[in-house]
Amino acid sequence: MSIEFLMTSLIVVLLPGTGALYTMAIGLGQGAWPSVLAVVGCCMAIMLHIVASVVGLAALLHASALAFEIVRYLGVVWLLYMAWGILREGGTLDVAPDRRPRRAGQIILRGFLLNILNPKLSVFFLAFLPQFVPVDAVSPTSYLLGLGMAFNAMTFIVFVIYGLAAALARDHVISRPRVMLWLRRSFAGIFALLSLRLALAER
């Protein structure tokens, strides 16, 4: 595994996308452990995208306009739903001290759906991972899976750091309603913009 792959992957992972934003929102709204559960859901979906790219399902998705459009617009709807859930009272970013936490399965499922309904991820891995496979690799498929697992492990670590950092800021946010209102509007706006970006994306 080359240093070029590790450095490039780290740069990609550090750029906050929907998964990182969801993890930070859960960290702010519910604390440290729920943010880790959010990361688990996001990374489960990423691993499925990686496997899909390795076995060729991503290429099929990319070639089929109908399949791509169905998954894409499901993703758009889910992102808009997440934006609404963050903005409304009692939603994802409600940080009331006496708030009842969401169930673990619900947090994981939402993170999973957030990433699995983004067809661009499979296409990204289809284009990204093969660049780092040596020409003399004995088993290119196994090598691709190894690269994908390394990428996902890096994603897990970085997202956990994001989530824990957000959880550390939770107590400060609870005592400042104006800051909380600004954060809720900002996160909701970002998710809405990401849904628009996905809706306008080309295959």
Q: State how far Cα 192 lies from the chain centre.
A: 15
Is 1 inside any structural domain? no
Q: Residue 38 carries which side chain, given as an amino acid letter?
A: A
Query: Is residue 43 a part of any domain in this protein?
Result: yes
Express each pLDDT in 176-195 by its tens digit: 667 667 767 777 777 777 67
In a domain, 161, yes or no: yes
Site of tokens 């890096």:
154
Taking the CB of residue 194, how many other CB atoms lie within 10 A of it? Answer: 21
Residue 48 lies in a domain: yes
Q: Is the pLDDT of residue 175 over 80?
A: no
Residue 76 has pLDDT above 90, yes or no: no
pLDDT grade, residue 202 (50/70/90)?
A: low
Residue 2 lies in a domain: no
Mean pLDDT of 145-163: 93
> 100 pLDDT band (50/70/90 cuts)?
low
Judged by phi (left if over 0) then psi (alpha if -120 to 50, else beta), residue 97 lies in: alpha
pLDDT tens digits along 2-59 = 788 888 888 888 877 788 888 988 888 888 999 999 999 999 999 988 888 877 655 5
Q: Report the greatest alpha carbon distance in the chain.
A: 58
Q: How many domains does the chain have?
A: 1
Who's near 151: CB < 8 A, 6+ residues apart?
Answer: 9, 13, 46, 50, 125, 129
Which range of 87-91, 100-104, 110-114 scores highest in mean pLDDT? It is: 110-114
pLDDT score at 124: 79
Check: pTM over 0.85? Answer yes or no.
no
Q: For residue 13, tell me if it sits in a domain.
A: no
175 assigned to some structural domain: yes
- Rounded Cα distance between 169 and 196, Å, is 29
- Residue 64: which domain range? 18-200
pLDDT at 154 > cutoff 60: yes
